[in-house]
Structure 1
Amino acid sequence: MIVTGYAQDLELATQLADTADAITTDRFRALDLAVSRKPDRTPVTDADTAVEDALRAVLADRRPGDRIAGEERGGTTGDGRTWVIDPIDGTKNFLRGVPAWATLIALVDGGVPVVGMVSAPLLGRRWWAATGSGAWCRDTAGTRRISVSAVGDLADAYLSTTHLGSWTEHHSREAYLALTDACWENRAFGDFWSHCLVAEGAIDIAAEAIVNPWDVAAVQVLVTEAGGRFGDLNGGDRFDGGSALSTNGLLHDAALDVLRH
């Protein structure tokens, strides 16, 4: 594996993911799982808060000078270094017993994600990347470097999103359906998984009408290090624009053009 200036941070992100996996796998399908709702009506479980608290404790010890921003305990990114944490991305899946969920950990430096770690223990998969080191995946077949697809035409593209209803509320359902019509195939793998599959080259486009920074900071560096392009639906190459579009790069402008109409 290529070593960069963020090698030690990537090693720490691996340890954080191990800590998170130990908590989430223990609480998955637990009969006493406590579930509540946040003000935006999204669910949160005791596992979400336990993971974030555990990761914050490790970071306070190992990186006391860094900021922390998490889904459950708050915080913002700044000009320096900030660890951005989504303790369980796919909480609705987690609480319903669906194994498609993950812990997302990113290091943002100067407003740009430079380390990304996505760990989905019940899928048996983990993805990671750091600026200049490429994108990687580990599964039952072992560890391998990953890269985006070479599909160059929307008519041949495989597209994924999350909840279709979010397009009605936050962007344009008609625009998304126009993109599905322009593509060869579509699914709704949802959340982190769609973007990770783009990085792997398994699918070609992942689009979400609404996201928070902690939902996508880790996948931005993963997709870009895999040779793709990540940004928001307005065309900005950023993780904090409130929406998300991952592509193999070749299809990015074409997908944006459809979604803007």
Structure 2
Amino acid sequence: MSDLELALHLADVADRITTARFRALDLSVDRKPDRTPVTDADIEVEDAVRRVLSDRRPDDVVAGEERGGSIGEGRTWVLDPIDGTKNFLRGVPAWATLIALVDGGRPVVGAISAPALGKRWWASAGGGAWCGTADRGPERISVSGVRDVADAYVSTTHLGTWSEHHSRDAYLRLVDACWENRAFGDFWHHCLVAEGVIDLAAEPVVNPWDVAAVQILVEEAGGTFTDLSGAPRFDGGNALSSNGHLHAEALELLKA
């Protein structure tokens, strides 16, 4: 089984758990030390994925949101069992399991599965970016061709995080320069950039497991992914995805 096949198998394992627990009346919710929520489904998914990896890739390192671990220079599987936990626990269907394989500090495989949306995205180095739905099957995806920020569609997460972690004024400069804006948030807006549905997705604060799978998806779709300093990394603490054409101007507008 190739690494990509394994990532998709892990997504299947996760989907069976998350779909069974989504909108469950007995869902258990707790708060982590950073006051973000965690459900019993988050823990169950990460533990299940780790068990499969222990069997299939015993020599690889695993780093996950709930059980920890470090990302080194070797092969590391980076897991976010449920990205969009706040949506998950409220019954909003915009959440996903994110699985990435990082090797030499770069994501080489990524899978993003959003079963409540009926969609899954995946990519591998040199293999392109793909999206699949139950009724249409796999389709190769690519970013938009929009070249003028005035024609661009931009998305972010919660606007308040810009005040806390970067600059609200900087994000509003970008919004004012663009044609349209929304806050799709989390994994979804990066996937929409990769699909060419929107053109920019900006986040003032992220963790590595939030965007490792996103980076390779956007890049393999022909786009650009960096932190807000312009470095092409998933562990820079913030993120900007774009179709590539708009990236430099968006970074300039986002300067704090």
TM-score after normalising by structure 1: 0.97
1:6-27, CA deviations, whole angstroms, 9 ceiling, x for partnerless residues? x700000011000000000000
Match of 2:178 among 169, 180, 183: 183
Counterpart check, 1:193 vs 2:188: yes
> What SS class does the counterpart of residue 61 from structure 1 fall into?
helix
Q: More displaced, 152-161 or 132-141?
A: 132-141
User: C-alpha distance in 2, partners of 1:235/1:122?
Assistant: 33
User: C-alpha distance in 2, partners of 1:40/1:94?
Assistant: 18
Counterpart check, 1:57 vs 2:51: yes
Moved over 4 A (4+): none
Corresponding residue for residue 23 of structure 2:
29
User: C-alpha distance in 1, partners of 2:16/2:254?
Assistant: 40
> What SS class does the counterpart of residue 195 from structure 1 fall into?
helix
2:63 corresponds to which letter in structure 1?
A: A
Counterpart check, 1:100 vs 2:94: yes
Corresponding residue for residue 4 of structure 1:
none
User: C-alpha distance in 2, partners of 1:247/1:76?
Assistant: 28
1:173-226, CA deviations, whole angstroms, 9 ceiling, x for partnerless residues? 000011000000000000000000000000000000000000000000000000
User: C-alpha distance in 2, partners of 1:24/1:79?
Assistant: 31
1:71 corresponds to which letter in structure 2?
A: E
Match of 2:224 among 217, 229, 236: 229
Aligned length: 255
User: C-alpha distance in 2, partners of 1:80/1:13?
Assistant: 17
> What SS class does the counterpart of residue 39 from structure 1 fall into?
coil
User: C-alpha distance in 1, partners of 2:197/2:223?
Assistant: 12
Counterpart check, 1:126 vs 2:120: yes
User: C-alpha distance in 2, partners of 1:70/1:149?
Assistant: 32
> What SS class does the counterpart of residue 198 from structure 1 fall into?
helix
User: C-alpha distance in 2, partners of 1:143/1:130?
Assistant: 14
Match of 1:244 among 216, 239, 248: 239
Counterpart check, 1:116 vs 2:107: no
Unaligned runs of 5+ in 1: 1-6
1:213 corresponds to which letter in structure 2?
A: P
> What SS class does the counterpart of residue 98 from structure 1 fall into?
coil
How far residue 141 of structure 1 moved from its aligned partner, in angstroms, is 2.6
> What SS class does the counterpart of residue 215 from structure 1 fall into?
helix
User: C-alpha distance in 1, partners of 2:126/2:10?
Assistant: 21
Counterpart check, 1:164 vs 2:159: yes
